[in-house]
């Protein structure tokens, strides 16, 4: 490998182009060539086999070059040198398909002391078209040797040259002669590092029994990180089977997608063992997985005999019992629902302390971050238990949506994530109806509507090529909008027809790949309805429609409703750059007061002009009609003020369904934020919810409260608004209290957590003092605080400054439960003293805190109005975030969104924009654009509504 001199690299490339044989080489200084004529990409690194070219003549000049491998002496890895080739932006291309994998036989031997590994990849391939070049994905390797042997060949062919292009993340292998069509084995020996950045093959840090630092090893390959662990065709459509072998310390547990085939002592190393796994089913690279570490487990079987295990850190297996229950039930539920059995003989769930996302759906070995999987009967809140159920059901759904049938390319990511996000709720609602879990979905649903109304949104189906771009679409649009439109289809078709269509889609594409059009075709075929015409209007363009009720009149026993129809923009001044005409074919529903749980009308709207329809109604006083029954349709509705006020009695009496109450409030708030109604209208309307009981409706109330708390921060109206908000929340906080009631429903348990936490955040003195008192009683050993109220208690303690911070640190250090640790970290944003905030940030970067939790700390500080502090901290430490979080990953996008949000001036927008122009971070463009748009919207909103807010809050 030559990387010290582009001059030397040009010479190597020039030799290749001119096909100069070794025996004709003159001494280096006498060899004549024109380097200026050679186009060189400085991110290319080359190796040439010594038998083909006289490397000894090169080695006499380039000291340190190994005579056989052509690599520098010692341990090195290929590393990035440039992000631009020849002055042009890199154009990414998918791999050629002349050669494709059939089976990967992979052997890994990690070294725990150096956090490195040695590996051999013996890949059975099919040569579909004769070629002398094989191109695979690879990055961060030191290559030892590359050979190819055809199935019927006696001779092993050694690669004469291989080039690693770090920008394209590909390894280009040249052989001395053409590989004929047929099958053979490509063998690559190599070495690499076990990474510390939560991707590829990485180490997850945890504390041992005596507080010492230990590590699990695990993998995270989605979306394009498999290439950092083994050379491969790292694209979802290029599927193959896998034989995995792990050479590991004999005291550790080794896991992979499939069951263990053999587990034998190492023949020459008594401290190691060799674990081989059964051959996998055909699958994509990103769902292959393995893990090594100290684990306990609990196990059970599904009714049809699938072995399920939940692996936990040693001594914590009891905390895996609930997740085990959920996965056993989920596998049975999905098998029945889709009519397709789970195809593997086992299903493992593994909890590790550090993981770059909540969980990853590796086939047969799903890896979770501990706080998303483990549930402690004493230490976990009701919300955390329900979260575990949702996450396990989501990842289990991926065994069908994503693993069994995979999107053809990342542009259709939502086929995986949107469907799994819908099915998780359908599944948990069926298994645990007492959770009323669709309430949780509504909180996400109203958030994605806000995101999708921005000018910086994107369609569900979005073209991506550059690996750095792929991570940015793992967002609410792919997950929640995807789930929301599937929920709309499910409602439109009915469960039976929907189920038939889904089973048909899966059966038709088993072990293969699909595109969005394949899904719509399957649903159309089985339902007889034109889903293939309706749904592309929601997946191929961003945003959604808003129906404005322009007139409602009563004519005898009918109400005649007239609607106008257009795209909803959060920024009312925003227009599409090309003035594109947005149109949706929208399933629209209507319900009425005399049947508040039924649907009076279900129709499709596809008109360019105004829409008119009639509803049969009872001639009773106060009969209302409401569009979008249960708020299932992916659209908004704007009502005239008089019509909106007619709903208030039914809101107070709760005659309106909770989902409809939520929908009315959220649609109104969106119109206010977009400048189509004034702020005093929504604040007045929200008073109708003062005795609200549904946690779903409260999620909409909290959204409004948080938005105005941020908007008015730093103004003379902030304190007045907080008083208004506390008067709205206090009756419910008082009703719930600090302790769980006998026979309490799950909604109240979850709501207690959120409402008391919000009371503390709003500065309620009585709530803060009571929380501090509870903390003191627990420290003395007089009581044990319920997990449902710990978030509020810890945030209150954090307001005490340094003494509170130290008290929380003590609790943090004494806990071995990640949920508790994250809860404490999330409370630290309530610290007010600037010196203590600096200690909090230093703590976030310490070895005591898992790497991704610095994001949690920044989110907490930002949520408490410390926007300037977060931004300054990021600017001072931006290299840390750039270098430690994977390019384009949701973690770096989350950091950028948080540290740039909350501002509302043109000056700050300009400063943020200029900073990122000067300091390039790949894969954050969409997040940055969204933040800048939010700043502009906040600025306009504050200027527009300051006067009416002043009048309302002063008189309230």
Active site residues: 395
121: left (phi over 0), alpha (psi -120 to 50) or beta: beta
The CA-atom distances, in angstroms, between 162 and each of 135, 339, 359, 641 are 9, 48, 36, 70
CA 883 and chain centroid, separation: 20
Name the DSSP letter for residue 108: E
What are the φ and ψ backbone dihedral angles of 588, each rounded to 5 degrees?
-115, 135
The CA-atom distances, in angstroms, between 3 and each of 51, 70, 72, 145, 651 are 21, 12, 9, 19, 70
CA 738 and chain centroid, separation: 33
- Sequence-distant (6+) residues with CB within 8 A of 817 are 319, 374, 376, 379
CA atoms of 831 and 551, how far apart (whole Å): 51
Kindly report the three-state secondary structure assignment for every residue of 136-193.
Answer: EECCCCEEEEEEEEECCCCCCEECCEEEEECCCCEEEEEEEEEECCEEEEEEEEEEEE
- Helices 925-955 and 906-918 cross at an angle (nearest 10°) of 160
Q: To which residue do tokens 């991704």 refer?
A: 852
480: left (phi over 0), alpha (psi -120 to 50) or beta: alpha
Kind plus residue range of the DSSP H or E element containing 506? helix 495-508
CA atoms of 125 and 105, how far apart (whole Å): 11
**Residue whose C-alpha is closest to residue 636's, from 609, 601, 596, 676:** 676
CA atoms of 474 and 484, how far apart (whole Å): 16
- Sequence-distant (6+) residues with CB within 8 A of 629 are 589, 590, 591, 599, 660
User: Which residues does residue 567 pair with via DSSP β-bridges, in sequence order?
Assistant: 545
CA atoms of 817 and 353, how far apart (whole Å): 10
User: Which residues does residue 546 pair with via DSSP β-bridges, in sequence order?
Assistant: 566, 636
Q: To which residue do tokens 């001119």 refer?
A: 18
CA atoms of 472 and 929, how far apart (whole Å): 12
CA atoms of 687 and 472, how far apart (whole Å): 38
Q: To which residue do tokens 């799994």 refer?
A: 420
What are the tokens at 680? Answer: 């005093």
- Sequence-distant (6+) residues with CB within 8 A of 696 are 438, 439, 440, 442, 443, 658, 659, 662
Kind plus residue range of the DSSP H or E element containing 122? strand 116-127
CA atoms of 894 and 901, how far apart (whole Å): 11
């Amino acid at each position: 490998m030559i990387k010290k001199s582009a001059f030397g690299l040009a010479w190597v490339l020039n030799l290749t182009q001119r096909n100069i044989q070794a025996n004709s080489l003159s001494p280096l200084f006498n060899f004549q060539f024109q380097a200026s004529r050679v186009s060189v990409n400085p991110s290319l690194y080359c190796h040439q086999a010594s038998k083909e070219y006289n490397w000894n003549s090169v080695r006499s000049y380039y000291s340190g070059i190994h005579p056989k491998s052509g690599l520098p002496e010692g341990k090195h890895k290929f590393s990035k040198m440039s992000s631009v080739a020849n002055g042009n932006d890199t154009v990414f291309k998918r791999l050629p398909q002349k050669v494709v994998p059939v089976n990967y036989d992979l052997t890994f031997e990690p070294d725990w002391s150096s956090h490195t590994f040695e590996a051999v990849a013996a890949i059975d391939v099919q040569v579909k078209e004769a070629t002398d070049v094989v191109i695979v994905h690879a990055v961060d390797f030191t290559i030892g040797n590359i050979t190819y042997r055809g199935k019927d060949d006696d001779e092993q062919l050694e690669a004469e040259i291989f080039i690693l292009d770090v920008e394209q993340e590909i390894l280009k292998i040249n052989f001395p002669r053409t590989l004929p069509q047929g099958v053979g084995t490509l063998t690559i020996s190599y070495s690499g590092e076990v990474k510390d950045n939560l991707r590829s093959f990485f180490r997850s840090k945890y504390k041992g029994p005596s507080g010492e630092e230990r590590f699990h090893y695990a993998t995270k390959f989605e979306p394009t990180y498999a290439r950092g662990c083994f050379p491969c065709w790292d694209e979802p459509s290029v599927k193959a089977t896998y034989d995995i072998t792990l050479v590991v310390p004999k005291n550790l547990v080794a896991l992979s997608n499939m069951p263990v085939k053999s587990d034998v002592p190492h023949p020459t190393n008594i401290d190691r063992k060799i674990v081989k796994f059964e051959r996998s089913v055909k699958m994509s690279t990103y769902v292959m997985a393995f893990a090594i570490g100290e684990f306990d487990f609990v196990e059970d079987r599904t009714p049809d005999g699938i072995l399920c295990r939940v692996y936990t850190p040693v001594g914590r297996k009891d905390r895996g019992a609930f997740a085990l229950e959920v996965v056993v039930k989920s596998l049975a539920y999905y098998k029945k629902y889709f009519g397709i059995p789970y195809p593997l003989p086992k299903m493992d769930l593994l909890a590790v302390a550090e993981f770059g996302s909540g969980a990853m759906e590796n086939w047969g070995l799903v890896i979770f971050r501990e706080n998303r999987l483990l549930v402690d009967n004493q230490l976990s809140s009701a919300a955390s238990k329900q979260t575990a159920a949702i996450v396990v059901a989501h990842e289990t759904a991926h065994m069908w949506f994503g693993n069994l049938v995979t999107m053809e390319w990342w542009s259709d990511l939502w086929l995986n994530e949107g469907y799994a996000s819908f099915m998780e709720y359908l599944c948990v609602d069926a298994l645990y109806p007492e959770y009323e879990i669709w309430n949780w979905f509504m909180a996400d649903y109203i958030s994605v509507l806000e995101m999708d109304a921005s000018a910086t949104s994107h369609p569900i189906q979005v073209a991506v090529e550059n690996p750095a771009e792929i991570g940015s679409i793992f967002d609410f649009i792919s997950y929640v909008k995807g789930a929301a439109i599937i929920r709309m289809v499910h409602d439109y078709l009915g469960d039976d027809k929907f189920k038939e269509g889904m089973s048909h889609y899966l059966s038709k594409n088993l072990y293969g790949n699909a595109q969005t059009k394949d899904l719509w075709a399957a649903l159309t075929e089985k339902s007889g309805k034109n889903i293939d015409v309706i749904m592309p209007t929601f997946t191929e363009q961003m945003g959604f429609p808003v129906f404005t009720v322009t007139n409602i009149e009563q004519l005898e026993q009918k109400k005649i409703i007239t609607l106008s129809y257009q795209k909803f923009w959060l920024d009312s001044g925003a227009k599409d750059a090309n003035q594109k005409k947005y149109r949706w074919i929208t399933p629209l529903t209507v319900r009425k007061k005399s049947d508040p749980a039924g649907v009076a009308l279900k129709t499709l709207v596809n008109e360019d002009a105004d829409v008119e329809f009639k509803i049969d109604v009872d001639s009773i006083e106060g009969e209302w009609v409401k569009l979008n029954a249960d708020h299932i349709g992916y659209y908004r509705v704007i009502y005239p003020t008089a019509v909106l006020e007619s709903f208030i009695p039914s809101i107070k009496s709760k005659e309106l369904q909770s989902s409809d109450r939520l929908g009315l409030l959220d649609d109104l708030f969106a119109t206010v934020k977009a400048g189509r109604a004034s702020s005093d209208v929504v604040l007045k309307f929200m008073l109708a919810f003062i005795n609200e009981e549904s946690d779903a409706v409260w999620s909409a109330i909290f959204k409004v409260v948080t938005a105005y708390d941020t908007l008015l921060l730093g103004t003379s109206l902030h304190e007045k608004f907080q008083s208004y908000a506390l008067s709205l929340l206090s009756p419910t906080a008082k009703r719930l209290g600090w302790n769980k009631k006998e026979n309490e429903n799950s909604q109240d348990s979850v709501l207690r957590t959120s409402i008391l936490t919000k009371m503390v955040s709003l500065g309620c003195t009585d709530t803060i003092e009571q929380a501090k008192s509870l903390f003191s009683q627990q420290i003395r050993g007089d009581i044990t605080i319920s997990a449902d109220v710990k978030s509020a208690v810890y945030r209150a303690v954090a307001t005490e400054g340094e003494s509170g911070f130290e008290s929380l640190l003590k609790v943090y250090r004494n806990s071995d439960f990640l949920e508790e640790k994250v809860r404490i970290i999330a409370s630290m944003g309530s610290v007010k003293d600037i010196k203590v905030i600096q200690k909090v940030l230093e703590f976030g970067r310490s070895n005591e805190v898992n790497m991704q939790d610095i994001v949690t700390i920044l989110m907490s500080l930002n949520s408490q109005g410390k926007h300037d502090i977060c931004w300054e901290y990021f600017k001072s430490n931006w290299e840390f975030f750039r270098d430690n979080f994977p390019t384009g990953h949701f973690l770096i996008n989350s950091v950028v969104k948080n540290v740039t949000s909350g501002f509302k001036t043109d000056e700050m927008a300009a400063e943020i924009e200029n900073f990122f122009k000067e300091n390039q971070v790949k894969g954050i463009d969409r997040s940055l654009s969204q933040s800048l748009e939010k700043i502009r919207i906040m600025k306009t909103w504050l200027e527009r509504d300051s006067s009416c807010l002043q009048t309302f809050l002063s008189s309230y």
